[in-house]
Structure 1
């Protein structure tokens, strides 16, 4: 009997616990922290929100990220429109909830994911939204189908800034599904599907094409093929929705950096200069031949907000107009080697880059006054080759970083080495700031590095692998070291010449 009473009491406690838990679930909407209609979640709140909401759209953000601030603003606007719907918006600060971000693999904000039915393992990624309207459009398209894009509007009714119109003969064809999938990933672009013959006959095209229209004007047409993928269609749309040449500004930066075209031609020019129109026109004319291959961007050098861009490419305003070409994968920069910026010169340069014939740009500081009269010559990119590959002199160069304590510790030793060798007219001791000058040499190891350029064998460098501070402590030791290195290298140079 006592045992039955204990079992009954246990069952009662269990029921009470479940009821209390269910009550807490029912009160979750009020207990979860919320601001402007957007949940502010930590790890525990996230688990509760997953259980409570059928659709939970979460923005993983970092407070100091400008992009995160933009997305957060879009979230607030969308939350007001979604009030009372099945979708709930939430944010998680990844700098505070590091373990949760790691568990969900939510690194590199902003990241936006839609969690469905409490499943945290298989969220749906949401494209980076430009505005609240982007979020609402994405949710609407995701909840609908390709049929929702069908319209019978006439050509004159496509008055949007940009509309992507699919003209398909069969609406159940797989082309339509590819088209709709692209629409899902581009919520900031207006899409429509039509079978209105007026649209297609206006341009003399056949069925199964995708048209890019700006206020009813045809910008470009894309013929769908059996092998056409969603990704290929997205590249076409994102490239041609931009002008042939785009000015770099705060508003266009994300669009430029997010372009699927990774080769960028950059025109640095003064918008107020007398020849701006002529140069911009030539740049624009050349751009047409390289759509889908090179993105053409111009940068106003007298716009203060472009300072970081100019600093990155080490462009000074007095150097404009100049053209640089860079690939966003390896960030190797190329410089148009010409003072003439006409259409053919620009096209030839771009084509040589695509064919792998262009040479990388070597950045250089201006040569300081009296640089070649100092005991330790201060080289820059534009003087390095002239000095180091001198046919009658052996040159000892330190490649340093000005902010490196290790580099700074070697400066006195380099001065002492120059003093010990001052009677040797055939020997030069020099240094070069590797952070401010691009150097087209293979350096082994990290900076500071020491290189010996022997006189007897031009365009050859021997990297010193020892520790300078350990090997050249006294004047006589320095002399012996440098002279021995010169003699040894002369033997190697002669041997190499014989082999050639």
Structure 2
């Protein structure tokens, strides 16, 4: 599991729960171990708690069991806290896709329960390629990155996995500029999202781009969805060229005779 395997061998502390079972949450004891943990995946969650008696600690450990495969760790070292601007017991989510640190300070929470913490972690599970659903939609639209590149594809189609991998491979090149979103056209609940781009499941796969600040949308031309074609599509927006073309669903315009 990349760099984290080495550090887990060094710093994992086995915590006994009330039933005598084991919660193998890594104990992050220094800045290097914490950095390695954060960098080992698209999303990492760290509970910064002074100790096991801290408010919300037990609920956090319980929630950690429910959010796999999200990485979850614990840290009680105040020197590490300072490195991440943590001043009191806090749950922090670190994301690469938008270079974000989303923090929940427990002293500000009126109520803490494991179900609520599960929702907090899952809605902020924004990755280089995030599958759209009612939960992840919250984190996607709350992100500071307001331009989304959408891969519309039908789960179960022959090329579904290949398309995912191609788009996911391009996403790190545009970290902090776009959020890449997978919209499964086979889900009835996503029909509205497809319709917004003038698409139906029969039209897929397609790639679109939506900018919430401009409230405008565009579709990449029909054809194979390749890493190069997605890369060029994204760059055309950054260069300002895409904005000169008609939006998705708009007519191309009349040709002067």
TM-score, normalised relative to structure 1: 0.30
Q: In 2 relative to 1, CA 242–345 (structure 1 residues): closer, same or farther, beyond 3 Å?
A: same
Answer whether contact 2:166 2:226 (CA < 8 A) is retained. yes
For residues 154-233 of structure 1, what are the structure 2 equivalents within 5 Å?
160=64, 161-163=71-73, 169=79, 175=82, 179-180=85-86, 190-191=91-92, 212=94
Q: Distance in 2 between matches of 1:166 and 1:240?
A: 23
Select the residue among 100, 120, 136 that pairs with 1:236. Answer: 100
1:381 equivalent in alignment to 2:251: yes
Answer whether contact 1:335 1:361 (CA < 8 A) is retained. no
**CA offsets, 1:407-448, max 9 Å, x none?**
xxxxxxxxxxxxxxxxxxxxxxxxxxxxxxxxxxxxxxxxxx
**CA offsets, 1:112-162, max 9 Å, x none?**
xxxxxxxxxxxxxxxxxxxxxxxxxxxxx9xxxxxx73469xxxxx98443
1:385 is paired with a residue whose SS is coil
Answer whether contact 1:333 1:360 (CA < 8 A) is retained. no
Q: Distance in 1 between matches of 2:179 and 2:186?
A: 22
**CA offsets, 1:21-56, max 9 Å, x none?**
xxxxxxxxxxxxxxxxxxxxxxxxxxxxxxxxxxxx
Normalized per residue, the structure richer in helix is: 1
Aligned residues: 174
TM-fit CA distance, 1:311? 2.1
Q: In 2 relative to 1, CA 286–330 (structure 1 residues): closer, same or farther, beyond 3 Å?
A: same
- Which has the higher relative contact order, 1 or 2, with Cα contacts under 8 A spaced 6 or more apart? 2
Q: Distance in 1 between matches of 2:152 and 2:80?
A: 48
CA RMSD in angstroms comes to 3.7
User: What corresponds to 1:259 in structure 2?
Assistant: 143
User: What corresponds to 1:286 in structure 2?
Assistant: 170
TM-fit CA distance, 1:269? 0.9
1:300 equivalent in alignment to 2:184: yes
User: What corresponds to 2:158 in structure 1?
Assistant: 274
Answer whether contact 1:332 1:360 (CA < 8 A) is retained. no
User: What corresponds to 2:49 in structure 1?
Assistant: 149
Q: Distance in 1 between matches of 2:170 and 2:76?
A: 29
2:100 is paired with a residue whose SS is helix
Select the residue among 208, 211, 218 that pairs with 1:327. Answer: 211
User: What corresponds to 1:215 in structure 2?
Assistant: none
Structure of higher CA gyration radius: 1
User: What corresponds to 2:9 in structure 1?
Assistant: none
**CA offsets, 1:57-114, max 9 Å, x none?**
xxxxxxxxxxxxxxxxxxxxxxxxxxxxxxxxxxxxxxxxxxxxxxxxxxxxxxxxxx
Answer whether contact 2:49 2:75 (CA < 8 A) is retained. no
User: What corresponds to 1:346 in structure 2?
Assistant: 230
TM-fit CA distance, 1:312? 2.1
Select the residue among 244, 247, 254 that pairs with 1:362. Answer: 247
Answer whether contact 1:314 1:363 (CA < 8 A) is retained. yes
5+ residue gaps, structure 1, are 1-140, 142-147, 153-157, 192-210, 213-218, 221-233, 365-379, 392-500
**CA offsets, 1:212-247, max 9 Å, x none?**
5xxxxxx86xxxxxxxxxxxxx95225995221111
5+ residue gaps, structure 2, are 1-46, 53-59, 65-70, 103-122
Q: Distance in 1 between matches of 2:205 and 2:217?
A: 16
TM-fit CA distance, 1:322? 0.8
